[in-house]
Structure 1
Amino acid sequence: MSLASAETTLKVVPQADLKNVDPVWTTAAITQNHGYLVYDMLFSMDSKLQPQPQMVDTWKTSDDGLTWSFTLRDGLLFHDGSPVETNDVIASIKRWSVKRADGQALMTRVKEIVAIDPKTFEIRLEKPFGPMISVLANAALPLPIMREEEAKTDPNTQVTTIIGSGPFMFDDKAWVPGDRVVYRKFKDYKPRSEPADGFAGGKVAKVDTVEWIYIPDTNTATQALIAGEVDAYEIPPLDLLPMLKADPNITVKVLDSLGKMGHIRPNHLYPPFNDVRARQALQLLVDQREFLAAQVGNPDFETVCYAVFMCNSALESEAYAEPWMKPNPEKAKELLKAAGYNFKDPIVVMLPTDQQIIYNNILVMVGKLKEIGVNVDAQAMDWSTLTSRRTKTDDPNANPKVGWHIFPTWWTGVPMSSPLTNAPLVSTGDPKTAWFGWPKDDEIERQRAAFMDAGTHGEQMKIVDALQKRFYEFIPYINTGQFVTPVAWRNTLKGVPNALLFVAWNIEKTE
């Protein structure tokens, strides 16, 4: 490789291997990061989490709040050279809204979405929907604008042709799952004129190629960054941060100050976790301090948090959480027995061995379950395999090699911090609309719907407290603690955007 070529290639160790490439089909963070490079969005959040126009040039709303009109900016092209038009946008909104909590909320108010001309469309509502722009600017699970052809794909089926209109093109021929992903600069991309700010502003591609190099061994990846073999490491191991911070050639920085929430998800469709008592048992096995020590191991990055909508957020509340803050293994065992579990049948737990934080999280839970006599079938796999398998609704009691009882993950704090965007809280019970695990609870859905009409912060907090109460009665999932994860990059990189995650636009390599 020539020196000139090397200088225009940004090499990044991503948080996981990329195997699923449709950012609507999955909520996996690695796929959302991929989506940010390839696709563009109607609106994006700036560094202060305020929505700003991205693909949209101008917009207006009627006096009664029932009609929203949007006009796309000039020069928007897909990577195949075709223009981005309103038929693409409308199909993309409809597909995305099926799979996203805030999109579902929006569509309960939508009467129709109409193309006025190739650049202008209207969203016509049955009832006003105040958070319209914030929903269209979802930062963690963004609305990717696809060609109409792909956007008409069933949202529960993966799109396989990846053609967006973002600053980088996905090179499917160079993609080697388990090794690397390659993106090429889209030379016909027209960035906005404003400076880059968070996910908003001008997305200027200043490198020709972005390579994601998958290195599952954290020590090897850390040494590759120190040696200059890669330029950035998205989630370096927290126990090796002192070494990285001591290197004068490396910057270590937290980009997302709200952070993430550790998460244990039970399968609500089948015994024993279709019984609330079994889910309450899981909650009573959790001491967040112990889980955080395993997941993170650095108090500077940890927050014990029993607030459903995150600590240090606008909707923070720990109402009704106190009875669940102290673990009680004896009570947990009683509850599992009352739920009908016989302590003989295997409980299938998926363990992602290539995700250090998530893996350590679930190892603690596996140990807690074994301590009270649960027969744990701990099945090791990589993260990409887990994110594919968690979509399966097969009965794990009958088909333990396909179905599952429990899986771990973490959630970015921004979507978790509101009833509109908290995807695992959606409790329709429908695999087409609820997140994997598929809880069903009418009261949670009633309160989530009421939140859309809450006009003041005080009104919102009343609903938040009601949701906290129902959350701990119903236990749709178990939080294992809030934490932040710094990003590390070599100082040869300049202009790293102050977004919630490491994105490749605006970055220059100085040598």
Structure 2
Amino acid sequence: MKRRLLASLAALSLGAAASLCSLPTLAQTKTLKVVAHADVKILDPTFTTAYITRNFGYMVYDMLFGLDDKGVPKPQMVDKYSTSKDGRLWTFTLRPGLKFSDGSPVTAADAVASMQRWTGRDSIGRAMTAISSPEWKAVDATTFTLTLKEPFGLVLEGLSKPSGFPPVIMPERLAKLPTTSPISEVLGSGPYVFKRDEWVPGNKAVFVRNPHYVPRTEAASNLAGSKKSAFDRVEWLYLPDANSAISALQKGEVDLIEQVPPDYILPLRADANVKVQASGSWQGWMVMNQLHPPFNNPKVRQAVAKAVNQERFMAAMGYPRDMRLTSCVSFFLCGGPNESFAGAEPFRTPDLAQAKKMLADAGYKGEKVVLLLPSDVTYLNAEGLMAAQTLRSLGMNVDVQTSDWATIGARRAKREAPDAGGWSMYVTVAGGFDADSPITNAYLSAACGNSLPGWPCDQKLDELRMAWLKATDPARRKEALDAFHARAWEALPYVNVGQYSPAIAARKELKGVEKLSGGLPLVWQLDK
């Protein structure tokens, strides 16, 4: 009996010691909790331009090049590269030791297949194809080449593109899958691994440190340099109720709100425990389905543009006066390097009476307009309600159909007619990079035959875009830009409803928040 008692006590002592030893391990797990701006449902950043999927991509994948904080492309997965004097042959060598999160090596064949997939999907990739007929080829396990029939001036800019189909590197077998449906398997070489076993769609997505990630030695600089994070675990929480999200931040239950509901910006500015900052320049867009009536008629789209009052849209979305412009009649960013007002004069001042006349002259016959309204993103909901009000003020027959943003993201890919499960219009927003040039703006860069929801097509716009891409002299390039912009007002791939700056909010103890920009999940810039 005495022996058994001593043995039991010894076992208890060992168990207690083991428990105590495990406590430091648990305590060392550093977790960042983020209220994401949307629910992530599509896990393939090469399939959709949705920002939540793009952000997912940056958590788990890496790229050949990355833009630093000055907007300069820097080698990321690439160790060294060279180009021939005529600019037609590029040679790239991968950094040694790169691995995917399952421990398998990253090879040149993976890079080639990923670039072929990207070239066929992205606006810069398609422009490269049209001008230069690119040929990607693996030379050995770590070296690959890009051969061009004609020089293309945006090679590095394309390989470091930060948004709208970023050129992420995935295994060859995945990269070669059809692009007609999203890839469901996630296997990258980025800083984190997606914890599928903890994924709760509509609630939470979890990422843990990738044990096989090989960081660069340079310090982090935006999307360039080391992406080794201070956090072992990152949780994306989906809290569509704004009050719950704000309360969680103020109580310290979460560290960061990725996009603050506009109505809460001013109250949070008064909270000493919270930091609020602007996150670049963005635009609100009304996107119209150009396959079906009534928006297959550019004259109808122009009538809608004439009715849009940007000040009312931005005020309705709730952004404070110091975070919005009264008016921006540019498809590119007002105040940005490509700012242009060519062709905008007829639309500079909203005029409902004139817009009604334009709609009647366009031959609108009362066709139903199915407007997809997001229920779970406050500023998009407000933007959508303003869109519905604008259309109705014109006398259009509007059918508002409400669902969450993720569902809209899937539905907008349907080509069917509005009365057969399709749609006529949805609202969205675009960050600065995704608005500010004829080739990075998703809808301005969409050549005829594209797969972009809305399916814009204008042959003249395609020709002018190509002229801008080929122009090398700065003066001629500006002329080409203005000509393109003027035609965009005639073709109207979408309608800009205003320019503003969104806000992020973080607990005061979270360091590096000032480095966040453009809605990108730069987790490696943060610490606490």
Task: Give the alignment's TM-score, normalised by structure 1.
Answer: 0.95
Distance, in Å, in 1 between the alignment partners of 2:302 and 2:158 is 32
Are the structure 2 counterparts of residues 2 and 487 from structure 1 closer, same or farther at C-alpha, using a change threshold of 3 Å? Answer: farther
Equivalent residue in structure 1 for 2:93, among 66, 71, 75: 71
Equivalent residue in structure 1 for 2:469, among 437, 452, 457: 452
Matches within 5 A, 1:412-427: 412-427=431-446
Indicate the residue corresponding to 1:317 in structure 2. Answer: 340
Q: Is the 8 A contact 1:46 1:499 kept in 2?
A: no
Indicate the residue corresponding to 2:350 in structure 1. Answer: 327
TM-fit CA distance, 1:386: 0.5
The answer to whether residue 232 in structure 2 is matched with residue 211 in structure 1 is no
RMSD over equivalenced CA pairs, Å: 1.7
Which amino acid in the other structure matches residue 376 of structure 2? Answer: D
TM-fit CA distance, 1:436: 1.1
Structure exhibiting the larger radius of gyration computed from Cα positions: 2
Q: Is the 8 A contact 2:290 2:454 kept in 1?
A: yes
Indicate the residue corresponding to 1:269 in structure 2. Answer: 291
What per-residue deviation string (whole Å, max 9, x for no partner) do you get for residues 287-322 of structure 1? 111111112431111122111221122111112201
Distance, in Å, in 2 between the alignment partners of 1:51 and 1:170 is 27
Range with bigger deviation, 165-174 or 237-246: 237-246
Range with bigger deviation, 224-233 or 284-293: 284-293
Q: Is the 8 A contact 2:115 2:136 kept in 1?
A: no
Distance, in Å, in 2 between the alignment partners of 1:111 and 1:145 is 18
Which amino acid in the other structure matches residue 315 of structure 1? Answer: N
* Secondary structure at 2:304 match in 1: helix
The answer to whether residue 514 in structure 2 is matched with residue 490 in structure 1 is no
* Secondary structure at 2:82 match in 1: strand
TM-fit CA distance, 1:450: 1.4
Which amino acid in the other structure matches residue 249 of structure 2? Answer: L
Distance, in Å, in 2 between the alignment partners of 1:325 and 1:357 is 24
TM-fit CA distance, 1:249: 2.1
Indicate the residue corresponding to 1:307 in structure 2. Answer: 330
The answer to whether residue 196 in structure 2 is matched with residue 172 in structure 1 is yes
Distance, in Å, in 2 between the alignment partners of 1:5 and 1:383 is 36
Indicate the residue corresponding to 1:429 in structure 2. Answer: 448
The answer to whether residue 187 in structure 2 is matched with residue 163 in structure 1 is yes
Equivalent residue in structure 2 for 1:352, among 351, 367, 374: 374
* Secondary structure at 2:428 match in 1: strand
Distance, in Å, in 2 between the alignment partners of 1:159 and 1:306 is 38
The answer to whether residue 164 in structure 2 is matched with residue 147 in structure 1 is no
Range with bigger deviation, 214-223 or 293-302: 293-302
Distance, in Å, in 2 between the alignment partners of 1:7 and 1:278 is 56
The answer to whether residue 245 in structure 2 is matched with residue 221 in structure 1 is yes
What per-residue deviation string (whole Å, max 9, x for no partner) do you get for residues 476-510 of structure 1? 1100111111211112222444443342124323x
Which amino acid in the other structure matches residue 409 of structure 1? Answer: T
Equivalent residue in structure 2 for 1:408, among 427, 446, 461: 427
What per-residue deviation string (whole Å, max 9, x for no partner) do you get for residues 68-120 of structure 1? 11111112111111111111111111112222111111222134111111111
Equivalent residue in structure 1 for 2:102, among 77, 80, 93: 80
Which amino acid in the other structure matches residue 420 of structure 1? Answer: I
What per-residue deviation string (whole Å, max 9, x for no partner) do you get for residues 404-425 of structure 1? 0001001111131111211111
Distance, in Å, in 2 between the alignment partners of 1:354 and 1:415 is 23
The answer to whether residue 58 in structure 2 is matched with residue 39 in structure 1 is no
Equivalent residue in structure 1 for 2:138, among 115, 121, 133: 115
Where in structure 2 are there 5+ consecutive unaligned residues? 1-21
TM-fit CA distance, 1:66: 0.4
Q: Is the 8 A contact 2:222 2:522 kept in 1?
A: no
Matches within 5 A, 1:241-280: 241-256=265-280, 259-280=281-302
Where in structure 1 are there 5+ consecutive unaligned residues? none
The answer to whether residue 491 in structure 2 is matched with residue 474 in structure 1 is yes
Distance, in Å, in 2 between the alignment partners of 1:251 and 1:316 is 31
Q: Is the 8 A contact 2:193 2:207 kept in 1?
A: yes
Which amino acid in the other structure matches residue 469 of structure 1? Answer: A
Distance, in Å, in 2 between the alignment partners of 1:482 and 1:163 is 37
* Secondary structure at 1:211 match in 2: strand
Distance, in Å, in 2 between the alignment partners of 1:346 and 1:131 is 42
Indicate the residue corresponding to 2:17 in structure 1. Answer: none
Q: Is the 8 A contact 1:272 1:340 kept in 2?
A: no
TM-fit CA distance, 1:31: 0.7
Equivalent residue in structure 1 for 2:522, among 494, 497, 503: 503
Distance, in Å, in 2 between the alignment partners of 1:276 and 1:294 is 27
Which amino acid in the other structure matches residue 326 of structure 1? Answer: T
Are the structure 2 counterparts of residues 434 and 448 from structure 1 closer, same or farther at C-alpha, using a change threshold of 3 Å? Answer: farther
* Secondary structure at 1:113 match in 2: strand
Q: Is the 8 A contact 1:267 1:274 kept in 2?
A: yes
Which amino acid in the other structure matches residue 160 of structure 1? Answer: S
Equivalent residue in structure 1 for 2:148, among 125, 132, 138: 125
TM-fit CA distance, 1:48: 1.5
Range with bigger deviation, 237-246 or 498-507: 498-507
Which amino acid in the other structure matches residue 122 of structure 1? Answer: T
Indicate the residue corresponding to 1:236 in structure 2. Answer: 260
Distance, in Å, in 2 between the alignment partners of 1:306 and 1:178 is 37
Q: Is the 8 A contact 1:95 1:154 kept in 2?
A: no
Distance, in Å, in 1 between the alignment partners of 2:504 and 2:62 is 23
Are the structure 2 counterparts of residues 106 and 429 from structure 1 closer, same or farther at C-alpha, using a change threshold of 3 Å? Answer: closer
* Secondary structure at 2:460 match in 1: helix
What per-residue deviation string (whole Å, max 9, x for no partner) do you get for residues 361-418 of structure 1? 121110121123222110001000001000000011x41xx20000100111113111
Are the structure 2 counterparts of residues 379 and 355 from structure 1 closer, same or farther at C-alpha, using a change threshold of 3 Å? Answer: same
Indicate the residue corresponding to 2:311 in structure 1. Answer: 289
What per-residue deviation string (whole Å, max 9, x for no partner) do you get for residues 325-382 of structure 1? 2222233333333434322x42100001111112111211101211232221100010
Q: Is the 8 A contact 1:287 1:325 kept in 2?
A: no
Are the structure 2 counterparts of residues 255 and 373 from structure 1 closer, same or farther at C-alpha, using a change threshold of 3 Å? Answer: closer
* Secondary structure at 1:265 match in 2: strand
TM-fit CA distance, 1:2: 7.1
Identity %, equivalent residues: 40
* Secondary structure at 2:409 match in 1: helix
Distance, in Å, in 2 between the alignment partners of 1:188 and 1:426 is 37
* Secondary structure at 1:494 match in 2: coil
TM-fit CA distance, 1:38: 0.6
Indicate the residue corresponding to 1:465 in structure 2. Answer: 482
The answer to whether residue 339 in structure 2 is matched with residue 339 in structure 1 is no
Distance, in Å, in 1 between the alignment partners of 2:451 and 2:472 is 26
Task: Give the alignment's TM-score, normalised by structure 2.
Answer: 0.92
Range with bigger deviation, 158-167 or 359-368: 359-368
Indicate the residue corresponding to 1:386 in structure 2. Answer: 408
| Number of equivalent positions | 501
